[in-house]
Structure 1
Amino acid sequence: MYEPIRTKSVHTTTEGSYVPHRSREEELDIQLAGHLSALLAVTDELGLDAAAERIAEQVARLRGAPPARHAARTAAGASALHDRAHALAGRALVVAASRADTTVAILAAERMDAHAAGAAGLVGAP
């Protein structure tokens, strides 16, 4: 009724084969660097140079190389950009707390406060 399987399954590995795995810490570093890179892009777009440099330093520390930066501008208004940056900083804060990186956690919390104030339209917020 059914023809027997003649080849090995693609779902099994052969004896002695090496399948690379990353540790939890490496995965968290990759995730944190990604969130910070996204935050850096929005921070650059807002023109917050001092904050962008601090974020870029942390991305470089996590990745071992300076981040790629560009000056692409979107049609989003400042309030929308602050909202986006606030959300990204919140994600970075969660991952930083998970990996016990107090430097990034403090930076992310500061950026959350600055972007919350910026979204609210407070003068001199960021």
Structure 2
Amino acid sequence: MYEPIRTKSVHTMADDAGFPHRSREEELDIQLAGHLSALLAVTDELSLDEAAERIAAQITRLRGAPPVRRAGRGTGDTGALHRRGHTLAGRTLVVAAARADTTVAVLAAGRMDAHAAALAGSRLVGAH
């Protein structure tokens, strides 16, 4: 009544040996370098050269190559850039903690503090 299946099931997985696999640490390195790159873009746009150099050094360490940098200061809203920088630094801090990268975690926490202070300062200036 039933005919046996003669072909391979479409539900079986392909041979995993042919696909590249990354470890958790490698995935976290990629994610951390991405967050740092985004933070670097904001930092460069704000023309915070010393902080940008520290961030670029960490990207170079993680990727093995220096990051692409933006030339010149942007004309964007400084407050919006500091808010974005604060958010990106927070994300960077979370991934650095998961990766147990103390150097990047300290750097990210410092950037969060700097962006928060800049935002607090701009609110005080606007209040007067």
- Superposition TM-score tier, normalisation by shorter sequence: 0.7 to 0.9
Instruction: Name 2:104's counterpart in structure 1.
Output: 104
Q: CA RMSD, aligned part only?
A: 2.3
2:29 is matched with which residue? 29
Instruction: Give 5+ residue unaligned stretches, structure 2.
Output: 123-128
| Native 8 Å contact 1:78 1:119 kept in 2 | no
1:53 to 2:53 alignment: yes
Q: Is the 8 A contact 1:59 1:67 kept in 2?
A: yes
Q: Distance in 1 between the 2:68 and 2:34 partners?
A: 12
Deviates further, 27-36 or 4-13: 4-13
Distance 1:64 1:79 in 2: 33
1:120 aligns with 2:120: yes
Gaps of 5+ in 1: none
Structure showing greater radius of gyration is 2
Using structure 2 for the length normalisation, give the TM-score: 0.82
Percent of paired sites with the same residue: 67
* Aligned structure 1 segments of 4 or more residues deviating by more than 6 angstroms: 4-8
Q: Is the 8 A contact 2:46 2:81 kept in 1?
A: yes
List per-residue Cα deviations over 1:32-74 (Å, max 9, x = no partner).
0000000000000000000000000000000010001123765
